[in-house]
Structure 1
Amino acid sequence: MAYDFQVVIDTSDPHALADWWADALGWQVEPQDEAFIRQMIEKGHATGDDTTRHNGALVWKSGAAIRHPAGLERAPRVLFQLVPEPKTVKNRVHLDVRVGANNIEPVVERLTARGAKVLHRGRQGPLWWITIADPEGNELCIT
């Protein structure tokens, strides 16, 4: 039996990091249903402390998700989950974002202008990549 999965990234600011990654990947931030959130509060299943405002919308404070424009059939969902502690060590898992050899430098320039940091330039035979960190220090390779 094969299982579906989503990738979860721990963060201190789920909505800002979801925006950053959606822009980095050309994906879309999943909208959150304000009416449903208000209904959960009215029914006592949540409180106002469980929510925040992001880009003018009422959203769940604990997380935000992004997905490929072609949907979950194309790529798994990425969830950004609120955690209290900051990132302190190197990731043991990271994403390789394939942009094509001619686009690596321009993509890295665009992402560093938006808060990423270059960590490493790698090469293996004819293949090369640049490892960067997102604004919270999570590593990804642009290849």
Structure 2
Amino acid sequence: MTSAIRHVTVDCSDAYALGSFWSEVLGRPLHEDDKPGDEEALIEGAGLLFVTVPEPKTVKNRVHFDLQPQGRTRDEEVERLLALGAELVDDRRRPDGTGWVVLADPEGNEFCVERGEAERTATASR
């Protein structure tokens, strides 16, 4: 027998607020029972569970998400995420179109935005 990952859990100061941000990022709803002030928030179908903890984030996170845009370019996705409340941490885009962008969610958890599939295909065919 083996184990299966049920959830990836993210500690945070406000589970509902951070869960709501990631719900918008991923285009997936929070669980119907989740409400503001709840100590947990689960994104349906994504396996992401946000849990309120008393300790603040103090160092760079050791695990992060790498996002691949669906139906838009990396740059369009970066602009959308910045409008949702993400912050730019590091821009690693290269002149040839490769690379990625490092953003942070509203609680400072870093994540990367890579190129979309169409961009990867276009670069590979050059």
| Structure 2 equivalent of residue 80 of structure 1 | 50
Note the 1:56-75 alignment, pairs <5 A.
61-68=38-45
Given the alignment, which residue of 85, 106, 112 partners 1:141? 112
**What are the ranges of 5 or more consecutive residues in structure 2 without an aligned counterpart?**
115-126
Tell me the secondary structure at the aligned position of residue 92 of structure 1.
coil
Bigger radius of gyration = 1
Number of matched residues? 112
Q: TM-score, normalised by structure 1?
A: 0.69
Q: TM-score, normalised by structure 2?
A: 0.77
- What is the Cα deviation at residue 3 of structure 1? 2.2
- What is the Cα deviation at residue 2 of structure 1? 3.6
Tell me, in whole angstroms, the C-alpha distance in 1 between the residues paired with 2:71 and 2:33. Answer: 36
Tell me the secondary structure at the aligned position of residue 61 of structure 2.
coil
**What are the ranges of 5 or more consecutive residues in structure 1 without an aligned counterpart?**
34-52, 69-75
Tell me the secondary structure at the aligned position of residue 75 of structure 2.
helix
| Structure 1 equivalent of residue 17 of structure 2 | 16
| Percentage of matched positions with identical amino acids | 40
| 1:45-67 deviation per Cα after TM superposition (whole angstroms, max 9, x unaligned) | xxxxxxxx52xxxx7x2200103
| 1:99-122 deviation per Cα after TM superposition (whole angstroms, max 9, x unaligned) | 169521111111112211111122
Q: Does the CA-based 8 Å contact 1:25-1:97 persist in structure 2?
A: no
Cα distance, 1:101–1:141 mapped onto 2, change above 3 Å: farther
